[in-house]
Amino acid sequence: MSREDADLNERGKSHGRFADKGERPEDLEDLALGDDYALNPEYVDMVIDAADRGDAERLRELVGALRSEDVADLMGFLNADYREEIIPCLDSETLAEVLSELDENLREEVLDTVTPTALARALEELDSDDAADVVDDLEGEKRAQVLAAMDETDRAAIEQTLAYDDETAGRLMQREVLAAPQFWTVGQTIDHVRTAGDDLPELFFDVYIVDPAWRPIGAAAISQLLRASRETSLAEIMGPVTEITVDMDQEEVGYTFNKYHLISAPVIDAGGRLVGQITVDDIVGVIQDEGEEDILALAGVSDAGRDAGVWDVARSRLPWLVINTLTAALAASVIGVFQAEIAKLVTLAILMPVVASLGGNAGTQTLAVAVRALASRELNASNAVRIILREMAVGLVNGGVLAVIMGAATYAFFRDPMLCLTIGLALVINLFMAALSGILVPLALDKLDRDPAVSSPIFVTFVTDFMGFLSFLGLAALILL
């Protein structure tokens, strides 16, 4: 047990709420989760404590009280040794569910410790989309062994799913759907559900009404089926259907679900035929992931994964820092041109970073707003010119406000009206350039079908650094010296 764990344990024990509880098995889940359903740090300590004492029975009891989502969460808080002790506590179905919940790097680690046969049994418990997701993380030989050990139908379903590109609708969909012709009645449909059993998905929310060529022509929520009388025909209750094409990017799928408040949607192939369905519970994760990707991309960092080591984390951040070293050095070279001016008036060296810094911040603001608007499809050719003009105006307005503030501050400190004029003009120019690059760069990247969140910050920071130094020092050379 590390020192931090010991500290936490200490705290856990003094925590009145747990101290006097008898910890009967039925209380364990309450103990494990906070009011917001997040795992309690104190519970993690209890697990570590049991593992340290070698108390396998207690460990099994603690892990057994958790839902599989919480076991996956728990594993993220443990180190590799403790994780390995958890795995034998899980039955085949829980193991499968935990695997499908785990972050990629943890999952790869856990997969290494499970035998191909045990893995095959576990994967058979999952829906084809979730199972394919796990198999995708297996390397060459082990993947072959696991697939060989699986039931033939399950194997075929996984292989078909993996044939679609990563991050497309084909990967997210499950093949099992509830479909019916429009002349069926509600009663016939319900009877079909009662007998079809395994051919239907575990959970479903809509029945898709299809034509003889198996093309969706409408949909009805199953709560509508329940409301209607058994004699009602599906044609009477069906509404319009929002189809997803099998090669649609998952981010677009997320946009469509969010826009139309969909619970499930039919997936169609190039011929318009129904091949599966996507349900909203998978989309919630996609929307969460896409938002997180944008946050990390704007900060110039890729996700090294939960519990990654120092080297992996350092490596995930270096590319952007190295590129930034180049752009920062390039921007600084502008200062080199004005060495003589700085030597004459060192005050310039004090004020120039303020101009660059404020420009950088204003550029980041514009950029974040533009990236968000592009992601939510609120910015496109319809309003691009209007938004660009607005950003330019905002740059001038805020440049003007900051010019007055910094001008006044400069006068208070240096009593030099021409220096005030210089920094004021430089700020207006740099905030204008910040606005312009903050909106044009993401629009251009989007036009080129590149992710606007990924490389925009590099360009924008370079522009505002470069222009900050150039405008301030250049104006100083003209006005002051």
Looking at the Cβ atoms of 181 and 400, the one nearer to a second copy is: 400
Shortest spacing between CB 18 and a second copy, in angstroms: 13
Beta bridge partners of 213: none
DSSP sequence for 157-193: HHHHHHTSPTTBHHHH-BS---EEETT-BHHHHHHHH
- The answer to whether 373 touches 379, Cβ cutoff 8 Å, is yes
- The answer to whether 292 touches 234, Cβ cutoff 8 Å, is no
82-93 burial by CB neighbour count: b if 16+ within 10 A, else e? bbebbbebbeee
Shortest spacing between CB 350 and a second copy, in angstroms: 5
Tokens matching residue 207: 């029945």
CB atoms within 10 A of CB 360: 21
Shortest spacing between CB 111 and a second copy, in angstroms: 20
Nearest alpha-carbon partner for 247 in 136, 170, 132: 170
Q: How far apart are CA 229 and CA 215, in angstroms?
A: 26
Looking at the Cβ atoms of 20 and 35, the one nearer to a second copy is: 35
Tokens 């390039």, residue located: 330
Shortest spacing between CB 418 and a second copy, in angstroms: 19
Q: How many helices (H) and strands (E) does the chain have?
A: 25, 6
The one-letter amino acid code at 398 reads N
Task: Check residue 300 for interaction with a second copy (CB under 8 A).
Answer: yes
Looking at the Cβ atoms of 65 and 114, the one nearer to a second copy is: 65
Q: Is 288 helix (H, G, I), strand (E, B) or coil?
A: helix
CA angle 456, 461, 462 (to 5 degrees): 100
The one-letter amino acid code at 303 reads D
Per CB under 8 A, which of residues 96..125 are in contact with a second copy? Answer: none
Q: Which of 256, 277, 430, 456 binds a second copy (CB under 8 A)?
A: 256
Number of amino acids touching a second copy (CB under 8 A): 138
> Reduced to 3 DSSP states, what percent helix, strand and coil does the chain have, rounded to the nearest 5?
70, 5, 25
Q: Which of 325, 417, 478, 479 binds a second copy (CB under 8 A)?
A: 325
Q: How far apart are CA 118 and CA 131, in angstroms?
A: 14
Task: Check residue 271 for interaction with a second copy (CB under 8 A).
Answer: no
Looking at the Cβ atoms of 60 and 344, the one nearer to a second copy is: 344
Q: How far apart are CA 124 and CA 87, in angstroms?
A: 18
- The answer to whether 177 touches 266, Cβ cutoff 8 Å, is yes
Task: Check residue 14 for interaction with a second copy (CB under 8 A).
Answer: no
Per CB under 8 A, which of residues 41..80 are in contact with a second copy? Answer: 41, 44-45, 67, 69, 73, 76-77
Q: Which of 22, 57, 212, 226 binds a second copy (CB under 8 A)?
A: 226
Looking at the Cβ atoms of 149 and 414, the one nearer to a second copy is: 414
x/- track of binding to a second copy for residues 341-380 (CB under 8 A): -xx--xx-xxxxxx-xxx--xx-xx-xxx-xx---xxx-x
Per CB under 8 A, which of residues 165..224 are in contact with a second copy? Answer: 190, 193-194, 197, 200, 203-205, 221-223
Shortest spacing between CB 141 and a second copy, in angstroms: 32
The one-letter amino acid code at 37 reads Y
- The interface region with a second copy, picked from 121-129, 137-145, 155-163, 247-255 by CB under 8 A, is 247-255
- The interface region with a second copy, picked from 39-47, 80-88, 112-120, 162-170 by CB under 8 A, is 39-47
Q: How far apart are CA 433 and CA 362, in angstroms?
A: 10
Per CB under 8 A, which of residues 378..417 are in contact with a second copy? Answer: 378, 380-386, 389-391, 393-394, 397-398, 401-402, 405-406, 409
Contacts (Cβ under 8 Å, ≥6 apart) of 324: 300, 458, 461
Looking at the Cβ atoms of 144 and 332, the one nearer to a second copy is: 332
Shortest spacing between CB 145 and a second copy, in angstroms: 30
Looking at the Cβ atoms of 69 and 154, the one nearer to a second copy is: 69
Looking at the Cβ atoms of 310 and 448, the one nearer to a second copy is: 310
